[in-house]
Amino acid sequence: MSNFDFLKNFNNELYELGVKLEEDVLNSPRAVTADATLFLETLVKDIYRQSNNKLENRLISFYKKIDNLYRQGVITYIYKNKLQDAYNLRNKIHKTNQDAKEELKIALELHKRLYYIAKKYFQDFCEKERYINIPDYKKPVKKDVRFSNCIICGRKNTESLSNMCSECNQKIENANLLLSLQNTYEKMEFTRYDLIGMGISESESISLLMSLTRKNILVKKGSSYTFNESNFNDYIIGVNQYVEIGLLLSKFYRDEITAGEIKKTNEYWKGSKQQKPCIEFYRLVNRKLEMDFEEKLIETEDIKRSIRQSSMDKITVKEWFNREKESFISGSLNDAFITYNELLIREFFELKKKGLNDKKILAQLGISAEIYDFWQENFMGRDFMKKTSQIKKDLIIKEIRKNKTLTEALKSAGVSRKEFDKLYVISKNDNDDFYKQFNKDYVQKRQKTVLKHLKYTNVNGAVRKSKITKTEFLRWYYKSEGDLSGFYMEVTGMLMDKYLTYRKNGWNKKDILKQINISKDMFNSWSKHDDLELFKQFKEENKRITSFLIKRGLIINALKDDKSKQEAIFQAGLTPCEFMEIYNSSKKEKTEFYLRFDIEYMKNRKRLFSKLILTNDFFNTIEKCEISQIDFNNWYLKDQDKYLSDYKPTCFYRTVTGELMNKYIRARLEGKNRPDAARCVGLSNMVVNKWLNHPEYELYYSFKKKIKQLTIDLISKGFKQGKSKIEVSETYDVAASTIDEYIGYGRNGFAKYEEIFELYENSIVPGQLKTFLNDIKTKSYSKSLKNAKISDDDLKYYYNLGRRDSESRFSKFYTAYLEVKISLYISNVINKKSSKIALKNSNLSIEEYEENMEDIEDEIFRQRIMIIGDELLKHKTTGAKLARKVGVSVDELYGWYFKGKRGDLKFKSFYIMFEMGMIYPRIQAYNKAIKMGIPRNWLQKQLKKDLGLEDYKIWDRHGLMSEEYFNYFNLDEEDVDGEKILKIMKNSTPTRTIDKDENPELYDFMRKAFNCGQKQSMDIINFSKENNKVSKKGIVGK
């Protein structure tokens, strides 16, 4: 199988030439020259045919043929060089004195180059089968691999059958001999005669023994020798490595192991560390790697891929480059080295076209400065610099067309300013395309842009928007001044218009030049051209405006001399209408004059106001100064903010504020409230509060002291008029909290406030407390406070004061109010309110209740007994009804009864009343009916209906129906209300009345039982005076 098989179906003639050439490489290297010539001529001829280019003269040289193809764009520069180098290499074999080895080397190199040339030709012109069935290059090799130098020591090798020199081979033989001696005879000691016996000559044995003894491999003992085991083993291992190196190299050069595998061997690692005997092995392996790298580079034209496939590292590539560089400089050309540099240079130029600077490109490609210098000095020379410069020029023009500044364009193009200046000067001297294009696309276009923007802005703004520098603008401006070209005249005209506009508005020369961003020297340079119409008109207009500005200055000066506005206008020789026209024009255009006028006029009015305010009220002063209150407020508040920030009042502010403060205090003394007093001096209450809230300022501190004394005087005045605190607060606009605060100071002994305190407690408080006591009996607590015009806190204070100190003049109030609270509490309880609600309604505290609890409870009981007594006078009633009436339970009510019955004096009166008015009449009637034979069950049913369930259960539980009553009640005891008891007894006569309509059956039964006539109703028990004996001692009930 041939390396050129891929040509068989594409160009058979070329295929046959390639096969023949491949056969002659090893057998007849000189024959390759003829084969190569015909191969190259045939290939170039077919390229002409494939590219439709006619060869006009078939007799022209090979070099001209391929140069024509390159110039017409059929082949690349690199491919042209490959064809040319292959043709040159063909001639080398014809040189005299070439030995066989050198001829073979050249033939192999030529064979490889022709393979890659044919492969590129096939890829470019065989579209249907591109990159298909193209085998990798295989070097024609003989079966045995031979090296010119010893693979162990690196010396020249004269051995024809071995890759090791005779000395290294001898070391192997000696090692084998000693091993045989040791293993065969199993002797630990031996003599030289043992070696002679193994076939070694006497002289050789003596030499060997001396050498090994010196190396301490053998130890001599008399005439005998023994092995130094450790050194002998190391010696054997080292010699064995010779054999291993030979085997590894043979396999590697025959492609039986890969580059990656051999680089992982221990021998390769030792060689990289310059350890013997692997140094030459390391060199030969790297040489093979370099050869593979060169082949891959020529084949793929891809540096990274070639390095990866050949397993080269950076160090090896660098060593290869440095060695080939020296060879190139000395005249020896390596096709792979040339390809390597051409590929790098191509990548360099591609990155250069993207705008990267040289430093970044070299870093990105991993190119050293030495390689870069080599390109410029040896490889391409001036062509490299010329092409680099052209790329930079193209990039600069390209970036400028993107409307970038020159600095931005140079940065994007990767060109320094120094490089650009050099390029521009050379281009200008040559008047080449770059110089012309730069002037067109940058200088002329940017000048037009400057003129466009200069209409609406100053020089700096126009320069910035035009993406140029001020230096460039000035250079173009002064350059065009020489011939008074359009750019100079247009720029100057615009600047003159701007100058005159600002001048009309009262700006001075210095400020105008600063505003339009031109220098004094540029402005003065205009005077050199006064003979031209443009400059002459400018000079006359400027003179006219200056005269006009003088009049405006007179107005300002008059205001400074305290003239009125009208006087200042008259003094400047203007009418009011002319002045307003000037003023409004300046304000509209925001020029200096209206601002200066406003400032001076304000100062003028401030001085006048400060003078008039001393003898006039605020509003008259405003009127006389011919200003509005808004004007005054703006001036005043601005000065106030300044004073608050730097503690330094202006003369106007100090004078006016001091006088306004005095007027404010006078207004307050006249009875005006704070807002009205502030309005009297033309200020808001907020401004006055600011005076009061910042006593740290000297001007405000004295005012606050005066206000405090004013407040004291107003409070005293109000108390003397008999006004309460609330009335004083409302009348004189003094906060109630302030009045309380000052009273507190007086109470604590501060002399300044004692009068207020004494007036309040001696004149005001007693009357308020009296009114409160009168109202609290019939009105709610809050209404009583409001009517008495006293606060809840004050009332509690004086109440507690009277409570704590019995000698205090408020102790009587305490006693009287406590009685009222107790009375109110009792009333609430009697009215069936809970204790909690009664305490709240009466304002009685728990502590006060507990202190007076016995008296309160006694009074409550007494009033309940009175209510019960009154209820018993109303004839028919029950215990449950009485209990609800007085707000207690039935059980509690009967409890009182039983306590009195058992002799408890507290409940005795209640017991007698309840006994005689409620219980006794019912029991007497019940017992009488029993004696008359009325059924007990029926009577109990009627009694239960009469009493109700609650009463009946208690009667039944305590057996009240079965008792025989004959009790004596002493009516003369202190705790018995005899008169009321007698009254109850008399009114209890009709204890039980039966109505005929209500219960006809009972009525008929009772009529027969008691032998009564035909009455509409009858009494079961009839207490009459005949049935009761009355005496002073008591009543006997039967």
| pLDDT per position as a tens digit, 77-123 | 888 888 888 888 776 765 545 566 777 788 888 888 888 888 888 88
Distance CA 181, CA 190 (A): 9
Structural domain span for residue 894: 852-1036
Residues 886 and 1028 in one domain: yes
Domain boundary among 332, 358, 380: 380
Residues 165 and 132 in one domain: no
Please write the tens of the pLDDT for every residue from 452-485. 888 888 888 888 888 888 888 888 888 888 778 7
Contact 788, 769 (CB under 8 A): yes
Confidence of residue 55 (pLDDT cuts 50, 70, 90): confident
pLDDT at 581 over 50: yes
Residues 158 and 91 in one domain: no
pLDDT at 628 over 80: yes
What pLDDT shows up at residue 144? 59
Query: Three-state SS for 177?
Result: helix
Residues 358 and 309 in one domain: yes
Confidence of residue 704 (pLDDT cuts 50, 70, 90): confident
Distance CA 992, CA 196 (A): 173
Residues 7 and 102 in one domain: yes
Q: What is the DSSP string of 377-443?
A: IIISTHHHHHHHHHHHHHHHHHHHTTT--HHHHHHHHT--HHHHHHHHHHHHHHT-HHHHHHIIIII
Residues 860 and 971 in one domain: yes
pLDDT at 566 over 70: yes
- Entry field: residues in the chain: 1038
Mean of the pLDDT values across residues 645-664?
85
Contact 366, 360 (CB under 8 A): no
The interaxial angle of helices 31-50 and 62-71, nearest 10 deg, is: 30
Residues 194 and 72 in one domain: no
Please check whether residue 395 lies inside any domain of the structure. Answer: no
What pLDDT shows up at residue 574? 77
Domain boundary among 112, 140, 168: 140
Residues with Cβ within 8 Å of 155's Cβ and at least 6 positions away in sequence, in order, are 149, 165, 167
Please check whether residue 729 lies inside any domain of the structure. Answer: no
Please check whether residue 228 lies inside any domain of the structure. Answer: yes
Distance CA 334, CA 338 (A): 6
Residues 968 and 1007 in one domain: yes
The identity of residue 251, as a single letter, is K
pTM as predicted:
0.39
Residues with Cβ within 8 Å of 145's Cβ and at least 6 positions away in sequence, in order, are 163, 249, 250, 253, 254
Distance CA 780, CA 31 (A): 142
Backbone angles phi, psi at 1018, to 5 degrees: -145, 155
Contact 639, 650 (CB under 8 A): yes
Please write the tens of the pLDDT for every residue from 28-51. 676 677 778 888 888 888 888 888
Question: How far from the centroid of its chain's Cα atoms is residue 568's Cα?
Answer: 59
Distance CA 679, CA 633 (A): 12
The interaxial angle of helices 736-747 and 698-720, nearest 10 deg, is: 80
Residues 147 and 99 in one domain: no
Please check whether residue 189 lies inside any domain of the structure. Answer: yes
pLDDT at 379 over 80: no
Please check whether residue 931 lies inside any domain of the structure. Answer: yes
pLDDT at 584 over 50: yes
What pLDDT shows up at residue 100? 65
Domain boundary among 312, 346, 380: 380
Please check whether residue 396 lies inside any domain of the structure. Answer: no
Please write the tens of the pLDDT for every residue from 512-522. 888 888 888 88
What pLDDT shows up at residue 1015? 46
Please give the biggest Cα pair distance in the chain: 191
What pLDDT shows up at residue 182? 64
Percent of the chain topping pLDDT 90: 0
Please check whether residue 278 lies inside any domain of the structure. Answer: no
More confident residue, 208 or 17: 17
Residues 936 and 902 in one domain: yes
Residues 91 and 101 in one domain: yes
Contact 44, 83 (CB under 8 A): yes
Residues 168 and 134 in one domain: no
Hey, how many other C-beta atoms are within 10 angstroms of the C-beta on 1025? 9
Please check whether residue 14 lies inside any domain of the structure. Answer: yes
Number of domains in the chain: 4
